[in-house]
Structure 1
């Protein structure tokens, strides 16, 4: 993987990530395709949107269809037909959040499948074996996630485990990369944990940034995990602001599972390069649509005979071809077409916001762009 910074404006960065499958302009928002597909969309839709990377989840793909099917089908690219890049989360968050009986110990995470209750155990190396089967371009290590708020003792233990598992993962991947050209093209990101504790985040970030395998290999990128799990937005921003200085300039910075359009703008401002979140597609299915002037609830009766587009400034397929009245009707009638049209619009909004932010950084006007973003959304719509 190659990463190059093209421009900076304050802490905000515009760069390019090159993987074996695509060239990704940053800052970037990655649509979430948990089970290998973005809900209600196909690969043609993703291509029209211009997304060069999507996220798939190791936990879900491990439970079904499983590693043997993925190997036979040629990994995620062969299985789905998507020609861009894939990032795969380790699945640790899902093992933690979807199982009523998950338990982390020093060796990994024990959990029961949310599908059939069967027992499973994720270790740092078993997660990587699954990600090798998925053949993802960017693989996330297994980390120990803690819901917030949490006491300092539990947060400290999570950092200890996360660092231990990261070291195991890095050594394992370094060894496998020497023996397999295909694996060598896969990239490994570490995850910084520590809750909202400044010193724990600093320690975790510094150690992961300095960590090397025996052959000298380092992590290809650093992610900030364990946020957007119960803390306030202000606490999140403060945590990111305190953590970023302990990561180096030469690697991409990824804030996991975040978030609203405001969250994205604020964290780009603080130096984050990569984002993912289910919010745009989940909200789309529930009738909440993002516009240049704020959120719009299409279920509202006032849209029943509204002939205008969702967003007069939007150039997405939905806004170019359909009225608010039609979308209101589809939502009320529970027509499946609504999910696709709404998801296309919300993802276009997110991806276009990233393109606009990138250009503002390149032009040296990100602060003005950020101010206009908030002033536009302050009005009635």
Structure 2
């Protein structure tokens, strides 16, 4: 395109301009190819580093390699574009003029009512807030937090991540306000307007934010705990400032406002320890000897790895019908995550043992 402009300038007798445009076009093309090669080399190096770090269980083992590579590619493309445009303007001898014009636009004092500001201050304000928001999302990676999955192997995590996120957000807001150049007397006006907004329609947002701060310091649950709130139950995957995430046994993620977690009736199954007492019901014939059945149940539970051996099971007669007895078994197991598997294995073993012993199950 620049060469076409150079030909047009040559036709109109503008030889110097034609020469500048022609040379700039060739340099721009060479630079474009060089930046493309540079970006590909950096991407290959980043991908290699991710594989090495994943093998050593480093920081890149805790992130999605596909998404990370895509984000790095966008970042490199953006930086290469800026470099290419800057060199293009320099070769066209217009970089100084453009730079001065941008500086004048950003630094020119402007007035909105009684508030004085500049576009540069607004740019700094947005950049700091955006950077703080991105940084607080990356805190789990910096602290070595692994991705929470719905199995017993995912341990408990402390709430230090949420606390650091809160500190980053507060520091980011303070730095952004300082960079905006807004005087403190004007800031009180803004806070007053903000208070009116809270009174009109932001109660829930502020309530969830304050509740998040209380959850961080009170610690009714940790990341990795199994909790139950009303009809929602699952493993705590993340504790945020406004809301928290639960990973359900079905694999879905439930986002719950912190206000509901603080004000609702929350059941934490794994706060002090992971032991739980599970309940099993089955029916047998009324002719079955209860002593023999109790011994059989004890033998089956004793052989199961997930059962707590030092806490013996309770075998209770729950109800009696004409020729049927309902038996309730209360047994302590190691974790709520093995409850479904424990019940399945127990009933299978009981079915086999009772058939071998000639006991009739109803």
Quick check: TM above 0.5?
no
**Structure of greater relative contact order (alpha carbons < 8 Å, 6+ residues apart):** 1
**Could you say which TM-score interval applies, normalised by the shorter chain?**
under 0.3
Q: What is the TM-score of this pair, normalised by structure 2?
A: 0.20
